[in-house]
Amino acid sequence: MRIGILMLVHTAFDRAAQVAQYWAAAGCPVVIHVDEKVPDQAFSRFQSALSEVVQISFCDRHSCEWGMWGIVAATQSAAEQMLSQHDDVTHVYLLSGSCLPLRPVSDLKDYLAARPETDFIESATTADVPWTVGGLSAERFTLRFPFSWKKHRLLFDGYVRWQRRLGLRRRFPVGLKPHMGSQWWCLTRKTLSAVLTDPDRPAIDRYFKRVWIPDESYFQTLVRRHSKEIESRSLTLSKFDHQGRPHIFYEDHLSLLRRSDCFVARKIWPQAEGLYQAFLGARAETADHAQPNPGKIDRVFSHAMERRLRGRAGLYMQSRFPYRQGQTGVTAAPYAVFQGFSDFYEGFEPWLTQVSDRVVHGHLFASDRVEYAGRHSITQGTMSDNVRIRDYDPESFLTNLLWNSRDARHCFQFSPRDEQPIAQLMAYDVNAQISVIAGAWALRLCRSDLDFNLLRKEAARLQKREAAFLSLLRSPWVKARVRIWSMADFIEAPQENLRSCLTDLGVSGTPDLPDQTSLDGFGHFLQDLKNHGMHPYVMGDFPVEGEALSREVSPSLGKPYIVQ
């Protein structure tokens, strides 16, 4: 059993030399291809650094461009040189200069010796490949791609559109079915030799020279013709992001790489000195028969991918600004909003603090200051009670407040008197629990000694604001949990209604309820508003004192209801 190593190198030559020497020291001949675009001076230095290692040689150079034929041509040249110079090589392993062996070479030899006729190459039909990003899955075989996607994007896209418009299609070589997979493989000498000496190779090469990304389909297709036994997976650990770009492994990935039990990993950051020392340093050549299992770390990468794409609920940052239609919440933790309760109940805020384990704020969006719990001027996260800072970006203010103390559960009061731009975020936030006693704001006006004309104007302004908020909460797209009562509805069963709110907060038992604000004279006040041309409707129908309490409710409000 002898393994030959093919290395495709175009950068980080010191690391490539270090890895090549490691393979050679373990008895593996190494053939290196260096990209023709590498300056001659850099190539000469790299070649000189390895000139004394007998097991290492260099093949003819080709210009390699991502997605183009040059990478396949480089692989062919290196493979042909390996087979011609080393008759005793039984398996050929294709690597890049950024690959790093994770296990002793003896482990790899034992593993391949137990499977002498198995070719390890990812090879799947185009219909079964889920990782194709950006389209051109089947079309990469039916259209021509003479232009570089990276260097000549306009020509690339224009030529694709032109072929589609004319309905041009290429015929796949007879006797072959297109397959795709990872570029990095380990083939038996017999299979690789059969691929390189295929009698139809000139025609096949001409065809694949105009296939897009042929390094992921050329060998993957031809092994299906010549291989006796294929195991459709790569022995090289490589991970890709949602855009099809490879993950780079850094020093803090050391434990993950060891856990994978894979033989080789790609792509390693050249400055990850700790990884190169850990895996290339002196270590016992003890046989480890563990199966390569990249699935052991798939969960970690899947979680990282999800975090990158979706972020964390409630976390706003420069690099990833959450969008409201996203599946993650716009805030970091559940919170409760009470509108009208501090008007309807005496001392509602300190009472709620006493009976619940919540952080109970006052009116966070009051016009004069931010009423934090305890009326502190600075709260967690060094957030100030300055309204100018809050009103610069109210949504970020609320999301930052909840993020900074996301282990706590917050409640705060809201009112038509408060600044309203935050209303839409709360309505569309799955973390929000909003309870409203509509029209309760009028109780404070009822006891005001302001001129009645000013009271009427203020009542009209507040009712207009609350009506807009209620309309928003009744939208079919609202994601918050919403409870709405008119005042007329709420006073029919105030204890039952308040306890339903406490249940939503997780308050158990039957705590003593706070005292209600007196409703004396409230009916007369509403009637006076009507008499002066203002129609108060959000609070329901209240009788003038001495008349029976009407149970009729404004049709625009209806009975209390819950929006899930």
Q: Count H helices, E strands: the chain?
A: 22, 20
More confident residue, 126 or 140: 140
Q: What is the pLDDT of residue 33?
A: 97
Q: Are strands 481-486 and 432-438 parallel, antiparallel or unpaired?
A: parallel
CB 14 within 8 A of CB 39: no
> How large is the average pLDDT for residues 168-187?
91
Residue 133 pLDDT exceeds 80? no
**What is the model's pLDDT at position 322?**
52
∠ Cα 308 314 315 (to 5°): 50
Q: pLDDT higher for 507 or 542? A: 507
**pLDDT for res 139:** 86
Are the beta carbons of 179 and 224 closer than 8 angstroms? yes
Q: Sort 14 into a burial class: Cβ within 10 Å, 0-12 / 13-18 / 19+.
A: exposed
For residue 135, the model assigns a pLDDT of: 53
Residue 285 is predicted with a pLDDT of 46
**Which pLDDT value is given to residue 423?**
95
Please compute, for residue 167, the number of CA atoms within 13 A of its CA located in the half-sphere on the CB side.
0
pLDDT at 320: 55
What percentage of residues in the chain have a pLDDT greater than 70? 89
Per-residue pLDDT at 350: 94
CB distance 516 to 494 below 8 Å: yes
Q: What is the DSSP string of 457-489?
A: HHHHHHHHHHHHHHHHHTSTT--SEEEEEEHHH
Reported confidence tier of residue 563, pLDDT bands at 50, 70, 90? very low
- Across the chain, what does the average pLDDT equal? 87
The pairing of beta strand 383-384 with beta strand 236-237: unpaired
Q: What pLDDT score was predicted for residue 510? A: 73
pLDDT of 280 > 70? The answer is: yes
What does the DSSP 8-state code read for residue 66?
T
Residue 559 confidence (pLDDT): 39
Res 551: pLDDT = 33
What DSSP character marks residue 290?
Answer: P
pLDDT score of 361 more than 50: yes
pLDDT at residue 400, as a whole number = 92
Q: pLDDT value at position 541?
A: 82
Between CA 208 and CA 73 the distance in angstroms is: 11
Residue 170 DSSP label: P
What pLDDT is recorded for position 288? 55
Statement: residue 260 has pLDDT above 90 = no
270 pLDDT above the threshold of 90: yes
CA distance 148 to 154: 10
- The per-residue pLDDT for 552 is 36
Predicted local confidence at residue 512, as pLDDT: 86
**Which pair of structure tokens corresponds to residue 107?**
């482990």
Write out pLDDT tens, residues 222-237. 999 999 999 998 899 8
Q: Which of the four pLDDT bands, split at 50, 70 and 90, describes residue 548?
A: very low
Between 96-105, 197-206, 418-427, 519-528, the lowest mean confidence (pLDDT) is in 519-528
| Confidence bin at 256 (pLDDT 50/70/90) | confident
Q: Are strands 91-96 and 186-188 parallel, antiparallel or unpaired?
A: antiparallel
DSSP state of 512: P
Angle at which helix 70-85 crosses helix 218-226, to 10 degrees, equals 50
**Strand ranges of the sheet holding 91-96, from the earlier edge strand across to the other edge:** 56-58, 30-34, 3-9, 91-96, 186-188, 118-120, 229-231
More confident: 444 or 314: 444
Task: Read off the pLDDT of each residue in 109-121 and give the average, rounded to a whole number.
Answer: 94
Give residue 561's pLDDT band: very low, low, confident or very high (50, 70, 90).
very low
Answer whether residue 9 shows pLDDT above 90: yes
User: What does the DSSP 8-state code read for residue 162?
Assistant: H
- Residue 373 above 70 pLDDT? yes
> In which band, very low, low, confident or very high, does the pLDDT at 386 lie, cut at 50, 70 and 90?
very high
**Cβ-contact 76, 218 below 8 angstroms:** no
d(CA 257, CA 11): 23
Cβ neighbours of 284 (radius 10 Å): 6
Least confident of 378-382, 533-537, 544-548: 544-548
Long-range Cβ pairs for the range 352-358 (8 Å, 24+): 352/411, 355/502, 355/507, 355/511, 356/411, 356/502, 356/505, 356/506, 356/507, 357/409, 357/506, 358/408, 358/409, 358/410, 358/411, 358/505
Q: What is the mean pLDDT of residues 493-504?
A: 90
Ranking 58-62, 210-214, 545-549 by mean pLDDT, the lowest is 545-549
